[in-house]
Structure 1
Amino acid sequence: MLFEVYGENAVFQWVGWLLVFVGLIGLNEFARRSKIGGIIMFVALPICMTIYCIAVTAGAASGATWAVDNPTVLFQNGWFHYAKVYAALTGCIGFMIIKYHWGKLGKAEWFKAFPFVIVAINILIAVISDFESFAHFVSGDYFLLDNGSAAWITSEHATQLTGWHNLINGIAGIINIFCMTGWWAVYSSKKKQQDMIWADMTWVFIIAYDLWNFCYTYNCLPNHAWYCGLALLLAPTVANALWNKGGWIQNRANTLAIWCMFAQVFPQFQDSFPEYGLNSPFAVNSVLSTQANTIVSVIALLANIAAIAYIFYRAKKLGVNPYKKEVFVGTKDYEAARARIADGECPEHEIADYEAAHKILDGNKAA
């Protein structure tokens, strides 16, 4: 068992998970299906959130009673949470620029690499957080729990384990960055430009990412991972698998930004700190076991090693640079996503690359 989802609050914990999962899918659909939906979710709401966060932080700094004990100040005021929410929002806005071809950026070929850059930045933010936790282990700045696991208390009052699992998963995250292929091959979808399609981001990357990111949340957000590690990761993955093929990265950015904004303003939903007067029935903690964290971290690392090995195999097979060209041409996942790309979106050189890849694949089959 990875989480403490039993006891008197078990029903609330499972219902809470379902509400988060379904809510994220529904809000993602609202955001992706129209320009106004995207603007409401990723421009208007963030402005409101920013005003709120500035107000409570400034109030707390001045010693105002109403702000000092504010849940956002107490439990969501670390560098990571702010970096994550604004990095995710930057991704959402950038993806809308690409899929709607807004302005010069939306029409620029070089800007098509933006999705890779912003995803890499988001991954690095998490990797740094894992390494920050590992630094506590190396420096001896930790205490032992009753089960012998090394732990430290974060600035947001959460008990977090420290150990080799942080280093292992940090390495997995760095590898995961290079499991993204076809950096410039992102396009608008056919139906009302609802989606930004990255066809070469297939299940190979998605599974490797999900395992790494779940492990990250389990390592560094042990009191949030039930929601941001499971519900949040499964929402875009299910959407990509069932009805939005090729749109995973857009779904991921949208749901991540939505969840981060909610968690920033309403941390009392998922946090339980009785000593601070906060005891949510929806809160779920991990079991805080070094053994469990290590097993999850090793799985994440092995999955990413397998993914990048397969990517290099495909690249060699097609004779291409996996970052400049697409490597999953001919696979079921890729072809289903490519079929959703709007007519006239792919430049001639990309069409030529696609046809050349199929000739190589057909030649290998014939041989």
Structure 2
Amino acid sequence: MLFQVYGAHAATQWLGWILVFVALIALNELARRTKAGGLIMFVGLPIAMTIYVITVTAAASMGVSWGVNNPTVVFANGWFHYAKVYAALVGCIGFMMIKYRWGKLGKAHWFRAFPFVIVAINILIAVVSDFESAAHFFTGNVTWVNGSAVWTTSEHITVTAGWQNVFNGIAGLINIFCMTGWWAVYSSKKKDDMVWADMTWVFILAYDVWNFCYTYNCLPNHAWYCGLALLLAPTVANFLWNKGGWIQNRANTLAIWCMFAQVFPTFQTSIPSMGVDSPFAVQSTMNSTANVVVSLLALAANIAAIIYIAYRAKKLHVNPYKSEVFVGTRDFEQAAARVDSSDKEAVLAA
């Protein structure tokens, strides 16, 4: 058992998971299908969120009680949360520029590498967080609870620390280079998606295992939602009705979830000593053995993925980052069939 989903709150914990999963899929569909939906989700709501967090943070810095005790200030005011939400939002806006061919950037060939860059930045943010926990472990800045080394973040989250953070941090670095065909990103025929055909199940599986492990290591009280529901929502969409659109789905759902978690952090928080005990909150088992096993699986998955990519590149005699390496595979061809040929021709001719 990886999570504590049993006992008095088991029903509400499962209900919460289903609600989050369904809501993420529905809101992603709203955001991807129309310009208005995308602008509301990734411009309008972020502006409102930014005004809110600046207001409560400023109030807290001045010692005003409603600011000091605000849930965002208490439970979601660390560097990671802000870095993640704004990096995801930058990705969403950049993807919309490519999808709708907005301005010179949206049409430029060089800008088609933007998805790789922003995804790499997002991965690195998580890798730094994993290595932060590793640093606590190796410098002895931990306490031991039931045989596991733990430390408490500024947001009052107790996380395990150890070799698992090293294994998964390395997996994340490898995962960056599992992205192939960096410039082969195009608008879909219906203009509802940005299609990256070479981002097939090989990368998606390696990424999902790595990112789940990251959340399990470093966000043990959030991983039930951001490690399972949040990862499955874009993956299900990609495999069932939105082939080639996974990275757009991922950015959209990540930004939506991060904004929600930033403003309503107590939805998934249970710290009775601080007067917060949400019936939807789910904690991991906080067993370092489980963390190590999951981390080794993530590392193995990414090593396997990079080896397979190298094999495909050698077979086709191409550079896997300048060219597409999954040409001819079912996943690639299904996604490529959705590409707007006029956009592809214009970009390649630029």
Instruction: State the alpha-carbon separation in 1 of the partners of residues 147 and 179 from structure 2.
Output: 38
Which ranges of structure 1 fall in alignment gaps of 5 or more residues? 352-367
- Secondary structure of the structure 2 residue equivalent to 1:97: helix
Amino acid in structure 2 at the alignment position of 1:160? V
Q: Which residue is equivalent to 2:172?
A: 173
C-alpha change, 1:336 and 1:40, in structure 2 (3 Å) is same
Aligned equivalent of 2:308, options 310, 316, 321: 310
Equivalent runs, 1:127-276 vs 2, <5 Å: 127-145=127-145, 147-191=146-190, 193-276=191-274
Instruction: State the alpha-carbon separation in 2 of the partners of residues 291 and 206 from structure 1.
Output: 25
CA deviation after TM superposition for structure 1 residue 277, in Å:
1.2
Instruction: State the alpha-carbon separation in 2 of the partners of residues 348 and 53 from structure 1.
Output: 42
Q: Aligned-pair RMSD on alpha carbons?
A: 1.0
Instruction: State the alpha-carbon separation in 2 of the partners of residues 38 and 248 from structure 1.
Output: 16
Which ranges of structure 2 fall in alignment gaps of 5 or more residues? none
Instruction: State the alpha-carbon separation in 2 of the partners of residues 345 and 282 from structure 1.
Output: 45
Instruction: State the alpha-carbon separation in 2 of the partners of residues 252 and 297 from structure 1.
Output: 21
- Secondary structure of the structure 2 residue equivalent to 1:160: strand
**Contact 2:24/2:230 (<8 A) preserved:** yes
Instruction: State the alpha-carbon separation in 2 of the partners of residues 211 and 350 from structure 1.
Output: 34
Larger radius of gyration: 1
Q: Which residue is equivalent to 1:80?
A: 80
Amino acid in structure 2 at the alignment position of 1:197? V
1:300-321 CA-to-partner distances (Å, cap 9, x unmatched) read 0000000000000000000000
- Secondary structure of the structure 2 residue equivalent to 1:346: helix
Instruction: State the alpha-carbon separation in 2 of the partners of residues 42 and 144 from structure 1.
Output: 42
CA deviation after TM superposition for structure 1 residue 350, in Å:
6.2
CA deviation after TM superposition for structure 1 residue 347, in Å:
3.0
Amino acid in structure 2 at the alignment position of 1:67? G
CA deviation after TM superposition for structure 1 residue 348, in Å:
8.3
Instruction: State the alpha-carbon separation in 1 of the partners of residues 130 and 65 from structure 2.
Output: 34
Amino acid in structure 2 at the alignment position of 1:63? G
- Secondary structure of the structure 2 residue equivalent to 1:334: helix
C-alpha change, 1:96 and 1:172, in structure 2 (3 Å) is same
Instruction: State the alpha-carbon separation in 2 of the partners of residues 262 and 276 from structure 1.
Output: 21
Instruction: State the alpha-carbon separation in 2 of the partners of residues 190 and 349 from structure 1.
Output: 15
Taking structure 1 as the reference length, what is the TM-score of the superposition?
A: 0.94
- Secondary structure of the structure 1 residue equivalent to 2:6: coil
CA deviation after TM superposition for structure 1 residue 343, in Å:
2.6
- Secondary structure of the structure 2 residue equivalent to 1:344: helix
**Contact 2:109/2:348 (<8 A) preserved:** no
- Secondary structure of the structure 1 residue equivalent to 2:244: coil
Q: How many residues align?
A: 349
**Contact 2:203/2:305 (<8 A) preserved:** yes
Amino acid in structure 1 at the alignment position of 2:182? W
Instruction: State the alpha-carbon separation in 2 of the partners of residues 246 and 99 from structure 1.
Output: 13
Q: Which residue is equivalent to 2:65?
A: 65
Identical pairs, percent: 73
Amino acid in structure 2 at the alignment position of 1:116? F
1:199-237 CA-to-partner distances (Å, cap 9, x unmatched) read 000000000000000000000000000000000000000
Amino acid in structure 2 at the alignment position of 1:19? L
1:98-141 CA-to-partner distances (Å, cap 9, x unmatched) read 01010110111100000000000000000000000000011000
Instruction: State the alpha-carbon separation in 1 of the partners of residues 334 and 276 from structure 2.
Output: 47
Equivalent runs, 1:270-285 vs 2, <5 Å: 270-285=268-283
Q: Which residue is equivalent to 1:30?
A: 30
